[in-house]
């Protein structure tokens, strides 16, 4: 019997994302030619490439199980089941998106940088981030939160690219920094670099959407590669002391063990959990989302739902959309679907001897979830 590693095995068809009424399907090695997706006997989506592609299906019944047929031009059809999320109670009040870990200026990926950039014209972080924004806007995002690691090494050329990217954003946006923006001591102070591209460095952004307050907080410290919660804690706790629910968005993940067992380092266990305890005490209706790990995860700590969302530029290559409901919040993490971005991010799954392709995606339930406030 011939065994194939999960890295080289075709992906076939995967339900990568679900919302209350939509789903994103992804495939690799499905056959030849184009692909159609059928639901209840009708064609509901088409895609040009059966070798590697995605399709989005909309207008599905919420909280229900749906049988879809994915049919390549050549090759057998695949029958898959999509379970849409059970939305929180009440009306949908608005949508926004987050992006983190853009790493503008990077030209390779992996521990030794073995997955290299193929285009010298527009580098992959820029192409992937631009595609992610376009797809988030198409999904319905009205505002964008950038959760840090905008640049790769904080070099002048990285910030110049960041300036071009920010200037071209088609929707209101808010930005905090991550370790890659602040840790390189041979570069200018990050506040100066930001000022040059017309942005002030803010420690905290507080934005009130209908039904939700978003708090975007910067726990990065100049020259440090990990997050340290300092005076920002009181700013966050003050802002979170409201009657409305809160989404706290930040760069660094919270360690889940006293001794961290994977790289990169985030916010230390005791410091982070003391902060989360205080946050929950001032507002129990809070969800926290982070970046930095470039992976997708969801878990709870003492009643606080916490998610980690990956990067648009490395496998699986994602952005996150949030739909606000009167009674809760839906997170849906989608792959960046533009063929050029998808071709790059799919290559990067082979990084770290192929382990990256297993480590980073998380499960569907960790990427797409409905959180009910009560």
Give residues with Cβ within 8 angstroms of 174, minimum separation 6.
143, 144, 145, 146, 202, 205, 207, 216
Pick the binder of Fe ion from 54, 130, 151, 179 (CB under 5 A): 179
Residue 178 Cβ, how far from Fe ion at the closest point, in Å? Answer: 4
Instruction: For residue 203, give both structure tokens.
Output: 């420690």
CA distance 309 to 334: 10
Which one of the spans 146-154, 227-235, 236-244, 325-333 is the region binding Fe ion (CB under 5 A)?
146-154
- Annotate each residue in 245-274 with x if it binds Fe ion (CB under 5 A) or - if it does not, as one string: ------------------------------
- Which lies closer to Fe ion via its Cβ, residue 152 or residue 213? 152
CA distance 124 to 117: 7
Pick the binder of Fe ion from 19, 178, 317, 321 (CB under 5 A): 178
312 in contact with Fe ion (CB under 5 A): no
CA distance 86 to 344: 33
Sign of the Cα torsion 308, 105, 115, 17 reads positive
Q: How many residues bind Fe ion (CB under 5 A)?
A: 5
With residue 59 as reference, give the H or E element that holds it: none
Phi, psi of 284 (to 5 degrees): -70, -15
Which one of the spans 9-17, 60-68, 96-104, 213-221 is the region binding Fe ion (CB under 5 A)?
96-104
308 in contact with Fe ion (CB under 5 A): no
Q: Where are the alpha helices (DSSP H) in 224-328?
A: 232-240, 269-282
Pick the binder of Fe ion from 30, 44, 57, 149 (CB under 5 A): 149
Residue 123 Cβ, how far from Fe ion at the closest point, in Å? Answer: 15
Provide the 3-class DSSP secondary structure of residue 126: helix
Pick the binder of Fe ion from 22, 101, 135, 181 (CB under 5 A): 101
- Which lies closer to Fe ion via its Cβ, residue 178 or residue 328? 178
Show contacts with Fe ion in window 273-302 (CB under 5 A). 292
Binding site for Fe ion (CB under 5 A): 101, 149, 178-179, 292
């Amino acid at each position: 019997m011939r065994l194939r590693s999960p890295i080289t095995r075709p992906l076939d068809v995967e339900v990568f994302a679900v919302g209350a009424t939509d789903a994103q399907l992804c495939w690799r090695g499905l056959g030849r030619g184009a692909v159609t997706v059928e639901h209840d006997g009708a064609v509901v989506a088409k895609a040009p490439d059966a070798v590697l592609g995605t399709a989005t299906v909309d207008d599905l019944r919420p909280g229900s199980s749906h049988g879809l047929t994915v049919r390549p031009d050549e090759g057998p059809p695949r029958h898959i089941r999509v379970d849409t999320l059970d939305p929180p109670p009440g009306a949908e009040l608005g949508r926004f998106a987050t992006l983190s870990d853009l790493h503008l200026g990077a030209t390779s990926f992996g521990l030794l940088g073995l997955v290299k950039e193929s285009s010298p014209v527009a580098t992959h972080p820029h192409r992937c981030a631009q595609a992610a924004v376009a797809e988030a806007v198409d999904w319905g995002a009205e505002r964008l939160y950038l959760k840090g690691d905008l640049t790769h090494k904080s070099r002048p050329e990285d910030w110049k690219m960041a300036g071009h990217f920010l200037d071209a954003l088609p929707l209101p946006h808010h930005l905090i920094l991550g370790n890659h923006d602040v840790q390189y001591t041979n570069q200018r102070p990050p506040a100066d670099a930001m000022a040059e591209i017309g942005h002030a460095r803010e420690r905290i952004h507080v934005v009130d959407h209908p039904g939700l307050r978003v708090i975007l907080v910067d726990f990065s410290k100049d020259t440090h590669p990990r997050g340290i919660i300092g005076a920002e804690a009181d700013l966050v706790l003050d802002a979170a002391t409201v009657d409305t629910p809160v989404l706290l968005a930040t760069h660094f993940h919270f360690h889940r063990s006293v001794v961290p067992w994977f790289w990169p380092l985030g916010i230390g266990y005791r410091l982070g959990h003391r902060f989360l305890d205080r946050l929950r005490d001032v507002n129990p209706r809070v969800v926290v989302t982070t970046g930095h790990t470039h992976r997708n995860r969801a878990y709870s700590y003492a009643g606080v739902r916490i998610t980690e969302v990956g990067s648009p530029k490395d496998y699986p290559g994602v952005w996150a959309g949030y739909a606000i409901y009167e009674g809760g919040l839906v997170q849906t993490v989608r792959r960046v679907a533009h063929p050029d971005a998808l071709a790059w991010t799919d290559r990067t799954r082979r990084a770290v001897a192929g382990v990256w392709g297993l480590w980073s995606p998380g499960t569907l339930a960790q990427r797409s979830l409905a959180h009910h406030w009560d």
